[in-house]
Amino acid sequence: MNMNDSLQNEALKKWGEAISEFHLPRWDQLPDLELYMDQVIQLVDQYLSPVTTGDKHPLLTKSMVNNYVKLGLVPAPVKKRYTRTHVAFLLAITTLKQVLTIPEIKEAIVFQGRTDGIREAYNFFCREQESAIHLIARQAKGEGVTYPTEPIPFAYLAARTATIAFANKILAEKVISCEIDYVRQGEKND
């Protein structure tokens, strides 16, 4: 391994360490009170910012939330107030839209909600997303990884593969970011 690889690997390892304890709040850990849109957006950003790069674009905006409501992905707020149901939907949508289309997400949410109920579907999504993020954290740290190989019921296959796809996407983005940073650093030193 040359010096260039070592510097890039260190940045990737540091990032892997930072996300190795990533946690999404379960249903019962979400706020059990009515929130205004700005508070919901802030919460979603707070929960997801450890694994996303906000420098490309905002994770969630007011217009996005309004569009999700219009498209039927999220229930309409009551008197401009949002509940834990809204926060749960928006957390899932914000990650899934990185790898699926909005119509696919809508179908998946409806299907999963009918299969398990919203609470259980959301908690399953959280477990799967955390597992996928922890997997790529180990990979970023240079540890060996094994993707899940046990059979999974068809009803859960889309959620598992989408969460793994999201995790792999952010790993690829981070590797590219490390490469770009290294090149820029080299240009400064020339």
Question: In the prediction, which pLDDT does 5 show?
Answer: 59
Q: Please report, as a single letter, which amino acid is at residue 136.
A: I
Please tell me the number of Cα atoms within 13 Å of 73 on its side-chain side: 24
Question: In the prediction, which pLDDT does 56 show?
Answer: 63
Predicted TM-score (pTM) of this structure: 0.89
Give the C-alpha separation, 122 to 38, whole Å.
22
Question: In the prediction, which pLDDT does 57 show?
Answer: 73
Q: Give the domain ranges of the chain.
A: 3-187
* Nearest residue to 94 via CA among 118, 124, 74, 76: 74
Question: In the prediction, which pLDDT does 113 show?
Answer: 87
Residue 36 has phi, psi (to 5 degrees) of -85, 160
Note whether 20 and 137 are within 8 A (CB).
yes
| SS3 category, 81 | strand
Which residue is associated with the tokens 């939330």? Answer: 65
Question: In the prediction, which pLDDT does 2 show?
Answer: 47
Please list the ranges in the chain whose pLDDT falls under 70.
1-8, 53-56, 187-190
